[in-house]
Amino acid sequence: MKKVVATERLPIKMWLDDLDDEALAQAKNLANLPFAFKHIPLMPDSHVGYGMPIGSILATEGVVVPNAVGVDIGCGMCAMKTSLQSIEKETLKKTLGEARKLIPLGMNWHDEAQDEALMPEGAESLEIVKKGYSKALKQIGTLGGGNHFIEIQQGSDGFIWIMIHSGSRNLGYGVAKHYNQRALNLNEKWHSTVTRKMDLAFLPIETKEAKDYLAEMSYCVEFALANRKLMMTRMVEALQYVAGEFDCGELINKSHNFAAWENHFGKDVLVHRKGATQAKTGELGMIPGSQGTKSFIVKGLGNPESFMSCSHGAGRKLGRKQAQKTLDLQEEIQKLEKLGVVHGIRNKKDLDEAVGAYKDIGEVMNNQTDLAEIMIELTPLAVLKG
């Protein structure tokens, strides 16, 4: 931990030095919520988000806050080790070409509905999920946009890895927007001190709305995992089509946008993680850098001060529009080509996901040595971006 802000109702415990003013103001809002518990941890990748900083944790007593999970419910990472020990650049290029045929990127969907057996069960009893189910059948196994990616990496363990970052697509977005709006309407009806401007509207746990949200949120977390699993299956197919047969290890999966009941400091509380990864003692997880920097397979250290959490990535240094306006296109391309990474940066609009848009992953990892232990370093070889 780097510092503690003790000016608010609850302390804000920070694992970084360089937090921008807007994100700090959001953290102070969290610390002053009447139902917030113990303290507010900010991970070393923290930056401003919608209502709550990305890379922060909010534990609550008696309420759930939809915006403290966010619109991409269940967004997370999965990684898998292959038995391959090396891979040629031409093979990487051909593999990405095959992957594009199997995995729709960005705003694209499958033309046909996928096998329903791939979907989590129970959608018929969930109001918002049921409405989005037919679209979700065409979106499962699709990457989405923004900072979502598929990456082929060389591990420090001597093996080739595949890593995927994606979420629940439109399904999670629909659930998040619906229940946040319900919370806003109810909070105004109750004349709550949690104002609309704070974007932290809450639902008391005993209400039907809270129970419905938690059920639909859980489904979206499962759908996001199913989405990543299908993409991993098809990514392996693409690589095997080009490189030949190989074996795969077990899938490591971690969500970083969710809420879950946990016991901390002797009390059962609802822990909201928004861009933060659970890191219980011995628990494996992933912390990615940017597409031109290392990622890491880590083992959690179960630090109670972070509610047993660690960062979910490097964290943004520049906003998307700011990156597009200020970063030099050729300079960013040269960074990746100097490293030999097969990438997709072609024009100014791609600069929002350039290396220069992100914090120094080395510094981020150094700031959380008390939260997670590095097990394997992963160097990027080829990247698909949404």
* pLDDT tens per residue, range 279-328: 999 999 999 999 889 999 999 999 999 999 999 999 998 889 999 999 99
Contact 381, 153 (CB under 8 A): yes
Average pLDDT over residues 30-56: 97
Model confidence at 64, pLDDT cuts 50, 70, 90, reads very high
DSSP H or E stretch at residue 270: strand 267-274
**Both structure tokens of 139:** 């979106």
Task: Tell the residue number behind the tokens 């991993």, with chain if given.
Answer: 232
Q: pTM value?
A: 0.96
Which own/partner contact pairs does 22-28 have at CB distance under 8 Å and 24+ positions apart? Answer: 22/48, 23/47, 23/48, 23/49, 23/53, 26/51, 26/52, 26/53, 27/53, 27/56
**Both structure tokens of 109:** 């969907």
Residue 302, classed as helix, strand or coil, is coil
Percent of the chain with pLDDT over 70: 100
- Write down the pLDDT at residue 339: 87
Model confidence at 62, pLDDT cuts 50, 70, 90, reads very high
Does residue 190 carry a pLDDT above 90?
A: yes
* Cα separation, 209 vs 204, whole angstroms: 8
Contact 188, 196 (CB under 8 A): yes
Q: Measured in Å, how far apart are the chain's first and last C-alpha atoms?
A: 33
What helix, strand, coil percent values describe the chain, rounded to 5?
Answer: 35, 25, 35
**Both structure tokens of 126:** 């969930």
Task: Give residues with Cβ within 8 angstroms of 23, minimum separation 6.
Answer: 42, 46, 47, 48, 49, 53
Residue 72, classed as helix, strand or coil, is coil
- Write down the pLDDT at residue 131: 98
The residue from 47, 272, 312, 343 that is catalytic is 312
Range from 222-226, 239-243, 295-299, 344-348 carrying the lowest mean pLDDT: 344-348
Does residue 18 carry a pLDDT above 90?
A: no
* Cα separation, 358 vs 268, whole angstroms: 35
Does residue 48 carry a pLDDT above 90?
A: yes
Average pLDDT over residues 66-87: 97
φ and ψ at residue 189, rounded to 5 degrees: -60, -35
* pLDDT tens per residue, range 97-140: 999 999 999 999 999 999 999 999 999 999 999 999 999 999 99
Cα–Cα distances (Å) from 192 to 32, 181, 197, 298, in that order, read 13, 14, 12, 41
Q: What is the dihedral of CA 20, 26, 31, 37, to 10 degrees?
A: -110
**Both structure tokens of 370:** 């008390």
Where does residue 321 rank: exposed (0-12), middle (13-18), buried (19+ CB within 10 A)? Answer: exposed
- Write down the pLDDT at residue 249: 97
* Cα separation, 11 vs 15, whole angstroms: 13
Average pLDDT, whole number, for the chain? 96
Cα–Cα distances (Å) from 139 to 124, 230, 328, in that order, read 18, 11, 34
Task: Give yes or no: 343 in active site.
Answer: no
* Cα separation, 84 vs 217, whole angstroms: 37
* Cα separation, 132 vs 171, whole angstroms: 6
Domain 3-317+358-385 belongs to what architecture? Alpha-Beta Complex (3.90)
* Cα separation, 81 vs 84, whole angstroms: 8
**Both structure tokens of 123:** 């959608």
Model confidence at 344, pLDDT cuts 50, 70, 90, reads confident
* Cα separation, 44 vs 312, whole angstroms: 9
* Cα separation, 174 vs 177, whole angstroms: 5
**Both structure tokens of 236:** 């392996």
